[in-house]
Amino acid sequence: MAHNKKLTGMTSLILVALLFSGCGTRFFSGCPAPAPEPAQSVVAPEKPAAAVIKSFPVFELPMPQSEAEKSYLGLTGTGTFQITQIKAPVLLIEIFSFYCPYCQDSAPQVNEFYQLIQARPELKEKIKLIGIGSSNSSFEVNSFREKYQVPFPLFPDQKMEIFKMLGARGTPTFIGVRVNDQGLQEQFYLGEGAGAFQNTSQFLNEIIKLSGIKAEVK
């Protein structure tokens, strides 16, 4: 009996220690939402990297200017397009900002992640990557693209409408979207902060596993 009590006590202590250590969770080490967002605590609560699967809102983005970007996303025409028009089983969205040092610092890794997908013929049609520049004008998004030679499409979200719609809390935020059996887009992944890209291969494996697409985990 006494032994059992001791064991229970020890287990509780270990659990408390784990809780305070933050092990098993990913800290949010990014930028808090910029103005004109209402003031908020800049210390975001901890959240596991993989979010609960939830429906994904439909929103519009401006049609890319470049034919190469249109072709990458399987789009044609001008004006705007709906996010559902991107023909890929998995879409990964990076919410970034030109002004966010964490986004600046991780930009080369995000580019590397894109190249990693493109280098695998069985993946490049299945996973597409876009960036949404939160509170950034087109000019700022283009400046970010030029500065870091970003090879995937970037879009401005100057009024932070998409940022709010997706429930983002800061930058960078990575959102994974997949097409479910009913042909609808659903969110299967939420990663906050730049930590996700410390190891691009590992991140790609995580996306493959969580999205459920048929591809080899390397």
Of residues 147, 159, 164, 209, which one binds other proteins by CB under 8 A?
A: 147
Q: What does the alpha-carbon distance between residue 128 and residue 133 come to, in Å, rounded to a whole number?
A: 17
Helices 138-148 and 101-118 cross at an angle (nearest 10°) of 60
Residue 40 has φ and ψ, to the nearest 5°, of -150, 165
User: Cβ 106 to other proteins, closest distance in Å?
Assistant: 9
Of residues 1, 3, 4, 41, which one binds other proteins by CB under 8 A?
A: 41
Sort 94 into a burial class: Cβ within 10 Å, 0-12 / 13-18 / 19+.
buried
Give the pairing type, strands 80-82 and 60-62.
Answer: antiparallel
Q: Which CB atom, from 200 or from 211, has the smaller least distance to other proteins?
A: 200
Per-position b or e across 80-93, b if 16+ CB within 10 A of its CB? ebebebbebbbbbb
45 binds other proteins (CB under 8 A): no
101 binds other proteins (CB under 8 A): yes
32 binds other proteins (CB under 8 A): yes
Residues 61-80 that bind other proteins (CB under 8 A): none
User: Cβ 190 to other proteins, closest distance in Å?
Assistant: 18
Of residues 72, 81, 98, 174, which one binds other proteins by CB under 8 A?
A: 98
Q: How far is CA 48 from CA 21, 22, 109, 191, in A?
A: 14, 10, 21, 8
User: Cβ 206 to other proteins, closest distance in Å?
Assistant: 18
Contact residues for other proteins (CB under 8 A)? 10, 13-14, 17-18, 20-23, 27, 29-32, 34-36, 38-43, 97-102, 104-105, 135, 137, 139-140, 143-144, 147, 193-195
